[in-house]
Each structure stands twice: as C-alpha cells, then as structure tokens.
Structure 1
Amino acid sequence: MAASNFLFVSADAALITDLAWQVHREDHDVRYYIEAETDREIGDGFVPKTDDWRGDVDWADVIVFDDIWVGSEVGTGALAEELRAQGHAVVGGTPATDRLEEDRGYAMDVLEAHGVNTVEHHVFQDFDAGIEFVQENPAPYVVKPLGEVQNVKRLLYVGNEDDGSDVVDVLRAYKKAWGHRMKGFQLQRKVEGVEVAICGFFDGTEFVDRVNFNFEHKKLFPGNIGPSTGEMGTSMFWAGRNKLFKETLGKLEDWLANEGYVGSIDLNCIVNDSGIYPLEFTPRFGYPTIALQEESIESSTGEFFYDLAHGNDPEVAVHNGYQIAVRIVLPPFPFDDEKTYDESSRNAVVVFQSESREGIHLEDAKEVDGQWRVAGDNGMPIVVTGKGDTMQAAREQAYGRIDDIVMPNMYYRDDIGERWIDGDGDRLQAWGYLGPQP
C-alpha cells in the first residue's frame, strides 16, 4: 500500500496516541490533534502534531476520532457524520451510536428492538426514586452513572447485599457528593457469570470477519478489588462469528449499516449457562484494548484502517493465540491529586533496561532528548503487552517485558489473564459459546 495521510483527532483527552504512532511507524503521513490543553504534550517526539484539525481535513485520506466526547459534551459522531456527508473517509460514529454509550437506557432499547436478550434495568434521574425502587424490590444491583460523570470510573458500584442495602447507602452518598453533576443513573440487576466483551470492526456496511473477544480488568488491585479505574489490563483472543457474536453484535449489523458506522464497537456482557446478558456498549476504540489489538494485528495496521474507512472489504491477519495488556500507572492514579502527581510522577523518566521496545505502547508519554517521559496529568504513561499460544505464555511474555522497565513509584496488576486460566475459558467452552457454529 502506498503511503496515505492520516489525521487523528482527540476532541477531548488524548487517547489515540499509540495508534497514531503505529501508523506513523508504517511510513504513513500522520498529523495528530489534541483538544485538551493539559494533554497536548502527550505524544510529543513520537507523532507529528497539528493545531488545526479542521484545516487538515482536505489533506487527510483518513480521519480517525478516538472517543465520543467533544470536551464535556457528546459530539464526535455528529462531526464524523458531517465529514462523511462531505465525502471524507472517517473512522468514527454517528449521533445515534454515540448515544449507545452516553444513554444506557437507549442502548438497552436498541438491543431489545433487535432481539438481543437484556438484563433487568431501570433508569432514574432522581436519587430518591432510585432508593425507593431498591427498597421496594430488594436485590443486588449495579449502579452506573449517566452522562459526562460516567467518565469518573470509580463511581460505578457493584452491589453485594441481597437486600440492596449497600446500593441504597451508595445512592444516598452519591446524592450528597455528586448530585450536582450526575444527570441520572442506571440500576442493572446484578448477574453472576463470566464477563466478556465482544468487539467487532465495522466498515460502514458489515463487520470484518475476525471478531475480538476481550476480558477487562477494571479494579485497581489484583484479585479484582479496590476502586474501579476504567481499565488496568485486558486479556483477549480473536475468533470467528461464534455464538457470542451472533447473539449480540451480529443482530445489530443492519442497524449499524443504516447508521453508516465505521470503527470498533464493543459490547460488554455477562455470560452464564442460561444466557448472554449485555451490560454496556463502547462504540469507539477501547483503552488499552486498541493497543493490544494493534499488537495482535500481524498485517498492516494503516492499511486495515484505510480500507475500513473507505469500505474496501478490509481484511486483517491476527495472531492466532492469546494476548494480554498491562497498564503501568503512577500516583495518584486513579484519583485526582495535583500535589501528589507533581511530587511523584510529573515528567518522570521511563527507563528501559534493554534495547527492545517490543510490546511497549504509548498512553500518556512523550519523548524528550531520546528519553521517554511521563506526560499529561493522569499517571498512565505506558501499556505493556504480550502474546503466546496459551494465555500463560502471553502472561509470561508481558510480565517479562515489565521486568525490564524502571519507573519510581510505578504499580500495576500482576494477575491479568489469570481469570481465563482459572476457569473462565473452560466455562465459556462448556456452555457452548466459543465453538464453531453451523
């Protein structure tokens, strides 16, 4: 493939740096725009930047949006739709697909309208109404904030008490502390099983044949305890259109085609022996999932996204095994404490004890005089990946690479992928979700 022009747009925080770097290293021409002022140094020294993404639209052969947010408002889907109408090739959503993430009640309505089974769920704009519902219908529930505040990942709460008393306590606390920002919340009935996300790449007409199945590790500490962080690591594999896909994303193929959606779309589910229960959409790239997907793509990443954006029947060759990604973080992650960040993490040096950078992916990092340094304000400088014929082999490669990295005060989970080894894989296979379908 001849070199092409790729314009990457972070209309809020910088998220897509690693993909831009990967495409740049494949000798394509790249320009990267970051809206958030605190993030603008992220990627410096790795990828060329632009201060005016709209001025570069006509230059670009492919425009890539990394999230649904434009500042504190949902909006990249509208931008992508506008640009497509003008004849540009865009990886990005639509207003309706953005809404899948922003409005969880709407997302469940779309699933139900297309014959996808859903878990019991209720949306509330009033805390007292939610508290009253739980008291009248005692059970364990999951509390999921709606709107912009859902980006504060530690606010997601998974109830443990059969009578819902802990959920009531949490809602009362949220009313006092977050009532001024939280537009509303969804209560989902808690379901036990294996949590798995089905991720497909859509080219505006149909899904690419290879489907990605990934397992998020959201809590801060090993053993899945501590505050929710959004993501501390991911394990995954690629497969075909098996039962998990056909019963979920596969049923939305016509709807997505009607929308003209282009890009990655992920549906996180709880699966058990009685069914598949969707929890939430990610109608965009996942982080650090995209870094791990890049690591497992063995064909040209740039060519794949070029063909995806242009609807050129994209093909992708992927690693035929297992992969894991581990997010390396620094204080005060996942919390906001500027003093701690300034004292412990800002501008810290990432030291490598070997020459190899295999499996090392960018998050909030920059390059200064040949050194990798921490950038931005979030304390998430890098992601380290590994792959192998087994999940254990992938773990050994990733954690071996981490052993060659030195950053004062760095921390990470050391159990990414263990859930698969400890039984999740066997359960999914026994329930008939992973085998070939007729």
Structure 2
Amino acid sequence: MKILVVGSGGREHALVWKLAQSPHQPAIYCAPGNPGIAALATCVPIQADDVEQLAKFAKEERIDLTVVGPEVALAKGIVDLFEQQDLLIFGPRKAGAQIESSKSWAKQLMLDAGVPTAAYRVFTDLAQARDFILKETPPVVLKADGLAAGKGVVVAQSTEEALSALDDMMANQVFGQAGAQVVVEQYLTGPEATLLAFVDGTDYVLMVPAQDHKPVFDDNKGPNTGGMGTYSPVPDMTDDVIKQVETTIVQPILQELKQRGIHYKGVLYTGLMLTADGPYVIEFNARFGDPETQVVLPRLKTDLVDICLSIAQSPYEDQDVDQDQNTVQDQEKGTGNPKTPRLSELKIEWFDNAAVCVVITAAGYPGNYKKGDMIAGLAAVETARTVVFHAGTAWQDGAIVTNGGRVLGVTGFGETLQQAREQAYAAVHSIEFAGMHYRTDIGKKAMERSK
C-alpha cells in the first residue's frame, strides 16, 4: 500500500508518524515534507498548494490513498480534483472546506443551523467597519475572513487596538486578500477547547478533546499564533459537556451541511469556548488541527489507515456504488485497497493516557523571524515517552536548521497530565537554537484543575 500525505508541518509529521505504525505497513510519501518526516517517509518536492502536480504524482506513482494536512490544499479543491481522476483521498471537497476558508460563510452556516456562536457583523467597507467598532464596547474580536495560517484573529482589548487591527487587515492587507472581508465578533469568555470528529458524510465519530494555547506568551499574553502548545485530555471537557457539544453543535452543523447539498467527509474541527451559558463555537476547521493532532493521534489506539480508508471509500449520496465490489477503485487504475468497514462499523478506541505538546518557535514569531539557525539536541530527546514533531525545519550543510516560525512540537506522554508535561518540558530543555522561544505554562492550569 502506498500513502501520500500532503503538507510539511508538525501536523503532517504526526500524521506520517501515526500512519507508519499501521499493520498495513504502508510505503509513505510526503509532499513536500521536512527533515523529521524524512525519517519515516519519502519526501517529494511538491508544494502543498500545487494540487495539479500532486494529482499527477499520485497518478504516476499509483498512490492508494492521499491524506491532506493543510487547509490551503482543501480550499483549492484538491479533493475534487483527485476524485475526478479516480484517486482515493481523505478530506472534504472545496464546498465543504468553506467552513474554514470563509469565516463569514461559516458564521451564516452556524446561524442557519442554530449553533451557539458569538454575535457578529461582516464588513467589506473599511469606513463602515470603523464606525461600527467606534460604537462597540471593547474587547472585540476581529477575524480576517479568509485563510491566514491561524494568525488572522485579533482579540482587541481597546478601541484603538481594534482600529489598528482593522487597518492592518483591510487597508494594509497584512493577510492579503484574506483580510478584504472582516468579521467583527462579540468577545466570549471561558476556557477554550477543541473537539475533532471523523466524518464520512453519513456518520461521525468524536475524537478525544484537546486544548490549544494561541497567544505567544505565558498567561495568554501577546498576539495570536497558529498554536503554542496543546494537551489532552481536557478536564473541562467532561462527558456531559462533550455530549452537549455533540447534540447542540456537531449534529446540527453536519445536518445543515447535508441540507445545503454538501456531503462532508474527512475531519471536522470544532474550536470551542466553554462559556457560563454553555459551549459556543469559536471556529470550524476542515482538517486536523495543528498542534492538536500532535496530542490527539498519539492517544488513538485504532489503526489510522483503516479509519482514513473507510472515510475516503464511503460513497457520496449521489454516487452509484456496487456494494459487492471488492475494491472501491478499479484494479486497472492502479489501486487495490480492500473494501474497509463503514465508519459506523469501525470500533475506534483510545488510550487512557495523557499527552502534552510544547511548541518551540523562532524569535520574533508570529512576526518577522530568522531562518537558518542550527538546532542541537534533537537526537537525545527521542524516547518512548517523548516524540519531537518537526514543523519548520530544513537541512543545511548536513545539519537541521530552523526554517519557519513554529519550528518544533515536543510531545510528552504519561499516565497523567503532570507526567506528560514533565516529559515534554524535560525534552524541550535539552533542545537548543539561537533565539528559541516557548511558553512555560502549557497544560499548567489543566493540571491544577485535574488535581
């Protein structure tokens, strides 16, 4: 079996790491990959947004299954393109990916589905947006409508900060066309949490919850990032809360997608604020989270290959599929995946342990940052209770160097959050590169609450 993973970050390293543990013993390719991924897979020099070349490679290499990591490929319609060429792929089509690629579309979807979310207004005119903000009492939340690599959200504590963020998005175009339209939201308070779900268009299975830390500095200070660390399980996400999220958010949103004729397959990421009035949706994503994947997948006991195959092979509602066929795709087209059980028939199990991931960034992130600094200490920290997921690294003169804002995600495992946290930080302290930065409080509050 041949599997292609699309992407080059810590999420994709975690996906490759988990897929490589499958009893199917797949040969894994990753485009474009990174030095950490290269230890487990063959890296292919094709960028994640070059969907035409990715399809060509998958066709020529007779790839049996493609798993998409980043949102940019989904937003460009990689799933639609692959399916048109009879290539098996895991992820939602372009229509479903709008749940992440357009904040305003997602907010309207939530409104129509009756899903609890913050009150909001959408603006395409800078002057109208400024007038609205001047009348609002801070704090307020501003979101660039399009994809902004997880950095297009500003929680403005003052009117001045809100106006400055608005100018950056709409006038200065710091997020490009993603900021041409801006969503201004009501500020919500409470613990945050993330709940991912496997979805095959008909059925869904919830994953174990995680909690991300977005601000760059300790105590949730500083600008938002793509994620500074995460942990699982989440003490605030009790069985009762999870059930509430399932019945008031996940089920209604999937039903609304169906009513719009969108057969959603892949992963549904639900970002939550656990308010005093119950769980509210902060955002939806159309793929595995980053860095949530780095703590969720290590807790997955069931074979990820079987899950991805089951979802990718599940037929669309308008698709005529012979239920007696042995394979979903024609053997002559280069694939031979045995038909796997439907998602509802798979027994998806989880390890009863804890995982904590601490993200190490380059100095200056999420603003301008330096590349090319040599990273020391990586070999010494890989143990049975610690794994280092590469996010922004590269090879240079035989050494691994920094090549992005978020450089590494160090995940520790343990029976408890405290043990997992100790493992993660012990490894972080053994890694060195010039200007490295990380938060020192990942999972700290959760650990205290779990006691």
The bucket for the TM-score relative to the shorter chain is 0.7 to 0.9
Shift of 1:277: 1.9
Partner of 1:107: 106
In structure 2, do the counterparts of structure 1 residues 7 and 354 end up closer, same or farther at CA, with 3 Å as the change threshold? Answer: closer
Cα distance in 2, alignment partners of residues 382 and 19 from structure 1: 15
Cα distance in 2, alignment partners of residues 353 and 14 from structure 1: 19
Which stretches in structure 1 are left out of the alignment for 5+ residues?
427-438
Partner of 2:269: 266
Match of 1:359 among 369, 387, 398: 387
* Residues 17, 43 of structure 1: 8 Å contact kept: yes
Cα distance in 1, alignment partners of residues 348 and 216 from structure 2: 33
In structure 2, do the counterparts of structure 1 residues 152 and 13 end up closer, same or farther at CA, with 3 Å as the change threshold? Answer: same
In structure 2, do the counterparts of structure 1 residues 116 and 173 end up closer, same or farther at CA, with 3 Å as the change threshold? Answer: closer
Partner of 1:151: 149
Match of 1:400 among 426, 432, 438: 426
TM-score, scaled relative to structure 2: 0.79
* Residues 192, 274 of structure 2: 8 Å contact kept: yes
In structure 2, do the counterparts of structure 1 residues 354 and 322 end up closer, same or farther at CA, with 3 Å as the change threshold? Answer: closer
Task: Please list, as runs of the form range in 1=range in 2, the aligned pairs for 1:125-164 lying within 5 A after superposition.
Answer: 125-148=124-147, 150-151=148-149, 153=151, 155-161=152-158, 164=159
In structure 2, do the counterparts of structure 1 residues 302 and 382 end up closer, same or farther at CA, with 3 Å as the change threshold? Answer: farther
Task: Please list, as runs of the form range in 1=range in 2, the aligned pairs for 1:34-433 lying within 5 A after superposition.
Answer: 34=32, 43-51=37-45, 52-58=53-59, 59-70=62-73, 75-76=75-76, 78-148=77-147, 150-151=148-149, 153=151, 155-161=152-158, 164-172=159-167, 174-178=169-173, 181=177, 182-208=179-205, 210-237=206-233, 242-256=243-257, 259-311=262-314, 312=341, 313=343, 314-337=346-369, 340-342=370-372, 345=373, 347-353=374-380, 356=383, 358-365=386-393, 373-374=400-401, 377-423=403-449
What is the one-letter code of the residue matched to 2:173? Answer: W
Cα distance in 2, alignment partners of residues 147 and 355 from structure 1: 37
Q: Which moved more, 1:176-185 or 1:100-109?
A: 176-185
* Residues 392, 408 of structure 2: 8 Å contact kept: yes
What is the one-letter code of the residue matched to 1:183? Answer: A
* Residues 326, 416 of structure 1: 8 Å contact kept: yes
Question: Secondary structure of the equivalent of 1:385?
Answer: strand
Cα distance in 2, alignment partners of residues 152 and 355 from structure 1: 28
Which stretches in structure 2 are left out of the alignment for 5+ residues?
46-52, 315-340
| RMSD of aligned residue pairs (Cα, Å) | 3.1
What is the one-letter code of the residue matched to 2:29? Answer: R
* Residues 20, 47 of structure 1: 8 Å contact kept: yes
Shift of 1:255: 4.3
Shift of 1:350: 4.3
Partner of 2:327: none
Cα distance in 1, alignment partners of residues 19 and 87 from structure 2: 19
Question: Secondary structure of the equivalent of 1:117?
Answer: coil
2:24 equivalent to 1:24: no
In structure 2, do the counterparts of structure 1 residues 42 and 285 end up closer, same or farther at CA, with 3 Å as the change threshold? Answer: same
What is the one-letter code of the residue matched to 1:360? Answer: V
Question: Secondary structure of the equivalent of 1:123?
Answer: strand
Q: Which moved more, 1:182-191 or 1:135-144?
A: 135-144
* Residues 196, 269 of structure 2: 8 Å contact kept: yes
Cα distance in 2, alignment partners of residues 408 and 140 from structure 1: 35
Cα distance in 2, alignment partners of residues 322 and 351 from structure 1: 22
Question: Secondary structure of the equivalent of 1:223?
Answer: helix
Shift of 1:139: 4.2
What is the one-letter code of the residue matched to 2:306? Answer: E
Cα distance in 2, alignment partners of residues 165 and 334 from structure 1: 21
TM-score, scaled relative to structure 1: 0.81
Shift of 1:81: 2.6
Shift of 1:190: 0.4
Cα distance in 1, alignment partners of residues 82 and 168 from structure 2: 43
In structure 2, do the counterparts of structure 1 residues 44 and 336 end up closer, same or farther at CA, with 3 Å as the change threshold? Answer: farther
Cα distance in 2, alignment partners of residues 7 and 175 from structure 1: 37
Shift of 1:96: 2.3
Cα distance in 1, alignment partners of residues 146 and 276 from structure 2: 33
Report % sequence identity: 20
Per-residue CA distance 1:215-238 (angstroms, 9 max, x = gap): 110111111112221100012228
Question: Secondary structure of the equivalent of 1:16?
Answer: helix
In structure 2, do the counterparts of structure 1 residues 366 and 140 end up closer, same or farther at CA, with 3 Å as the change threshold? Answer: closer
Shift of 1:188: 0.4
* Residues 295, 385 of structure 1: 8 Å contact kept: no
